[in-house]
Structure 1
Amino acid sequence: MRKICGVCLCLLVVLCSLATADAAEPRADQQHIADMVELYRQSVIHADDIHRAEQVWLTTPQASFIHPRGHERGWEEIKRNFYGKTMRDTFSRRALQLTTAPSIRLHGDAAVVEFDWEFTATRRRDGNIRHTAGRESQVYFRTPRGWKLVQVHYSGPPAP
């Protein structure tokens, strides 16, 4: 009987440690993704430093960025058109603030993030201030190098 109780106790300890590890992993993944959302925000503010964006994005042809002005397919288009032409070349200063906390939902090796934002920027050509607001969804994939952004879709706020 003591032998059976000992085995049961060992089994219980192993199962409890596995449950704790499983519970800790999603929290760690969510924190990593939250950190990536902040790095993405910084990559927009500092669009002239493309290396920040390269830390966030899956830099492959599978990346996608849908926005009101178009659809960038693949990292090279995102880098050239969104970070280069739109952010860096159009605006001399950029401020991007999240107005809602990111909602992060894990789905195995994928995650979906949603948040609202406000963007304020100074146009290079005339110094005018541009202010917009919107909502955004992002999809991240788990890779050997950690979580990477693979898809963004943003739009303006909902119509009243």
Structure 2
Amino acid sequence: MSLLPLVSHADGCASSFQTHLRESFPALSALYTQDARVAEAALDIFRETLAKLQKDVDDLAELVYRVDAWTSEARGMSVGQDPQQALQHVGGLVDMYQTELLNKREALADFTCEEINLSEFEKRWKDTSEIEAGKKQTMDDLADMLASFG
């Protein structure tokens, strides 16, 4: 039995996280208006986005448990069927997206408590450096694994 569908589902959850985050970007411009109702509606969008991001991270975390169940059953399988590799991949995704979710929560909290200004909030809300660093590490790990075969 292959773990590729689980790993593919994990990658889909990661893509969903990024899509949900990007979909909230237009609401940033509403915060620049002087209308309090418009700004509050935009803040609601960010709160809803955080809920969606949390669901994406929860879905990833559940996959860790599903993949982990395989580690006790399967040994010595080929690439694409190794539960340890799948667990590493999915676990890494959970870590990086959980960190990014926490960063977004902190940015919104800091902004609503007036600890940061709007331009700093916008910068922090759009920043996905944790994800980019994780992707780079994943590619480096993949390159190392492929090099070990040659």
TM-score class, shorter-chain normalisation, is: 0.3 to 0.5
More relative contact order in 1 or in 2 (CA 8 Å, sep 6+)?
2
Q: TM-score, normalised by structure 1?
A: 0.32
Richer in strand (by share): 1
